[in-house]
Amino acid sequence: MRKSPSSSRVTYIILRYMRRPIIVLITVYAASMLGWTLIPGLDAQGNPAYMSFFHAFYFLAYTVTTTGFGELPQIYTEAQRMWGIVSLYAGVIAWFYALGSIIRLVQNPEFQQSVAERRFAKVVARLREPFCIICGFGNTGALLTRGLTDEGLTVIVVDRNPERIKTLLLRDYRTPVAGLCADARLTEHMIEAGMLKPNCKSVVALTQDEEVNLKIAVTASLLNRDVSVMVQSTSETYEETLATLGDKVHIIDPFQTYAKYLTAVIENPAIHSLNQWLAGTPGATLDQRTYPPKGLWILCGFGRMGHWIRDSLESQGDATVVIEPNPSASDESLDGMIVGRAGQENLLKADIEHAVGIVAGTPSDTDNLSILLNARILNPNIFLLVRQNRFRNLEVFEAAQADFTMMPSLVSARRILFLLVAPLLKSFFETLHGPEFLARDGGLNAAVDALAKTVGGAQPRLWTLDTGADAGALRRVMRDGTAISLDDILRDPENRDRRLACLPLVVESGGDPVVMPASTTTVRLGDRILFCGTPRAVRLLEATLNNEYTLRYLISGVEAPRGYVMQWLTRKMAARPVRA
């Protein structure tokens, strides 16, 4: 791995600031020592006596540092005492000059930054476990960091704002989070963050500047072909460029993601309760249902979010009316466009009294809350979907009690978290509202009922098993030719006749995902399996797959001896001939 330049930069800054003080100290000490060796003293017999360089340095050391041992080899002459006064005052002045330079050096922001970079680079160099680099510690970055650390993953944060980096030390993450205050556009800083290390699994670009996100994505894709890149982008121009970087780059557009999600929820409200439950939303249960109505919708704010939601609603056959104070030239000609602010007058023009839903999707939280209150006055039964831009306004939006609250930072954080922690979950949701799955008995509702029955109301854990890399005991048993099914590994080690509170959501075998597989599905080497279960069930399952004795017992029902002596006796008893 390429060496970080922070170490050499620290050395250079020290030499640049301390060169002159060090030269002054060396000069003063050298001149003082030379004088002590040249000026003669008198021994006990009155004969001339000269100090050696070592004795001269020893005398200066204990006097200039004010230690003052008072050890005198002989009485000093007047000339030596005069030279001693000159030496001591010169040494004190030189040390004051040096100490002042040291204080200026320590207070220098460039030096502090270089020391912090070197300390940070050492922490990253010691990492042996897989880790993720997050560039940008705003709302989305903070939410994603919390989610990843709750899953036990290691996170590295790079952000230009020093205050955001300082907050990392104040938050109670389950795993330590190292932070670097630096510009992620500079390649050297990304290298310091460990981008080239083989255990760097992903780079996430979440800065407020989409051009910076593009630069980070390009740098990571070119310098480390094995790393996956997650980029938040809401610009079509940048998304076109990002799409050319390969399948390792995932573009996260919160507005497009939420529009597709809203479409899926309108088709089947169980999608919303399932998504909230899997994401661990406090108070979320699988039996909750929110039904977005069909009919006339009013869209307040026609930015990128408004365009996506309008397309989604109209694809479902719903009519839309748009209220926008500053429409673009191409949008002014749209049918149902009302130019102006979404006050009560324009809401009445949009026929809010007969509308079934309203979307308050402007970039201002104040405007969105005002629209929500006005809409509720004019039509108390209207379905309210509101956009929350800032996380700090969470309490206000909770008090507003909208039917749906869309926070772009939370949408992006959840999407990235699922891609990193449970990548097979994308196939799961795509299949859930696909025609093949809906044609199955019960469809989505049957899958939700199975999760509710098996896992229950507890906050679930998602866990991805790679049978070719993660479970040592499972690999050894499969190589013996033993057939293993999902039902075998999901037995409870404490009671073989009881199943764990865990359900396989997706089995990917040979690149083909199977959603909600049957319990009789055979597990093969190289399969990837996404499980959803209680924390206890996931811990027991992980322990089973790495303990050969427990696994063989769950498969066969026979508890094999574990000790060498008992294994030897068992083989002897099996080899003994049976007497007639």
Of these ranges, 71-75, 88-92, 102-106, 145-149, the one predicted with the greatest mean pLDDT is 145-149
The whole-angstrom separation of Cα 252 and Cα 417 is 11
pLDDT in tens, 255-279: 888 887 877 777 777 788 888 888 8
What DSSP letter does each residue of 92-153 carry, written as one string?
Answer: HHHHHHHHHHHHHHHH-HHHHHHHHHHHHHHHHHT--S-EEEEE--SHHHHHHHHHHHHTT-
C-beta of residue 439 within 8 angstroms of C-beta of residue 166:
no
**Encoded amino acid at 266, one letter:** I
The DSSP symbol for 4 reads: P
What would the mean pLDDT of 426-438 be, rounded to a whole number? 70
Same fold, 6-109 and 440-564: no
pLDDT of residue 58: 85
Neighbour count for residue 236 (Cβ, 10 Å): 9
Lowest-pLDDT choice from 57-71, 183-197, 541-555: 57-71
* 567 pLDDT more than 70: no
Residue 233's contacts (CB-CB under 8 Å, 6 or more residues apart) are: 210, 213, 214, 239, 242, 251, 252, 253
Average pLDDT over residues 80-107: 87
At 358 the pLDDT is: 92
pLDDT above 90: percentage of residues in the chain: 11
Amino acid identity of 483?
Answer: A
pLDDT at 355: 92
State how far the Cα of 416 lies from the Cα of 249, in Å rounded to an integer.
12
pLDDT tens per residue across span 9-26: 777 788 788 888 889 989
Write the CB contacts of 438 (distance below 8 Å, at least 6 apart in sequence): 444
Rounded to whole angstroms, the Cα distance separating 437 from 414 reads: 24
Cα three-residue angle 473-496-520, rounded to 5 degrees: 70
Q: Quick check: 561 pLDDT over 70?
A: no
CATH architecture of 127-252: 3-Layer(aba) Sandwich (3.40)
Residue 347 to residue 325: CA distance in whole angstroms:
13
DSSP 557: S
- The two counts, helices (H) then strands (E), for the chain are 24, 20
Helix (H) or strand (E) holding 357: strand 357-360
CATH of domain 6-109: 1.10.287.70
Could you tell me which of 181, 24, 27 has the C-alpha nearest to residue 110? 181
Residues 544-557, mean pLDDT to the nearest whole number? 83
What does the pLDDT average to over 332-349?
A: 85
At residue 154, the pLDDT reads 92
Q: What is the pTM of this model?
A: 0.76
Residue 237, token pair as written in the block: 């121009």
Report angle CA 303, 216, 208 to the nearest 5 degrees.
Answer: 35
**Could you tell me the two tokens for 509?**
């075998």
Q: Which residues contact 515 (CB under 8 A, 6 or more apart)?
A: 427, 428, 431, 432, 437, 447, 505, 506
Closest Cα to residue 4, out of 167, 182, 213, 137?
Answer: 182
pLDDT given for residue 577 in this prediction: 59
- pLDDT at 428 > cutoff 90: no
**Is residue 158 scored above 90 in pLDDT?**
yes
Lookup: tokens for 241: 């460029």
At 462-482, the pLDDT tens digits run 888 888 777 778 888 888 778
Residue 180 near residue 158 (C-beta atoms within 8 A): yes
Nearest partner of 412 among 187, 124, 206, judged by Cα: 206
Report the pLDDT value the prediction gives residue 1, as an integer from 0 to 100.
Answer: 46
**C-alpha span between 307 and 170 (Å, rounded):** 40
Contact 326, 302 (CB under 8 A): no
**145 near 206, Cβ under 8 Å?**
no
| Residue 55: pLDDT band with limits 50, 70, 90 | confident
Mean pLDDT of 163-189: 88
Is 3.40.50.720 the CATH classification of the domain at 296-412? yes
Higher-confidence position of 441 and 144: 144
Average pLDDT over residues 370-396: 90
Residue 240 pLDDT: 65
Number of CB atoms found within 10 A of residue 183's CB: 15
Range of weakest confidence among 458-472, 517-531, 538-552:
458-472
Residue 164 in contact with residue 202, Cβ under 8 Å? no
pLDDT band at 297 (very low <50, low <70, confident <90, very high): very high
Reduced to 3 states (helix: H, G, I; strand: E, B; else coil), residue 457 is: coil
What is the distance between the alpha carbons of residues 460 and 373, in angstroms, rounded to a whole number? 35
* Torsion region of 28: left, alpha or beta (phi above 0 gives left; psi -120 to 50 gives alpha): alpha
**Region 209-234: what's the mean pLDDT?**
87
pLDDT tens per residue across span 23-46: 998 998 899 989 988 988 877 777
The pLDDT of residue 562: 60
440-564 has CATH 1.10.10.10 classification: no
pLDDT at 131: 92
Instruction: Report pLDDT for 73.
Output: 64
The overall average pLDDT reported for the chain is 83
Residue 49 — very low, low, confident or very high, per pLDDT cuts 50/70/90?
A: confident
- The larger pLDDT score, comparing residue 376 to residue 548, is at 376
DSSP string, 193-237: TTTTSTTEEEEEE--S-HHHHHHHHHHHHHH-TTSEEEEE---HH
Q: Over 70: is that where the pLDDT of 560 sits? A: no
Domains of the chain, residue spans: 6-109, 127-252, 296-412, 440-564
Give dist(CA 306, CA 262) in Å, integer: 12
Q: Which two tokens stand for residue 229?
A: 């890149």
Q: Residue 506's closest CA among 413, 391, 577, 424?
A: 424
Q: Which of 130-134, 238-242, 332-336 has the lowest mean pLDDT?
A: 238-242
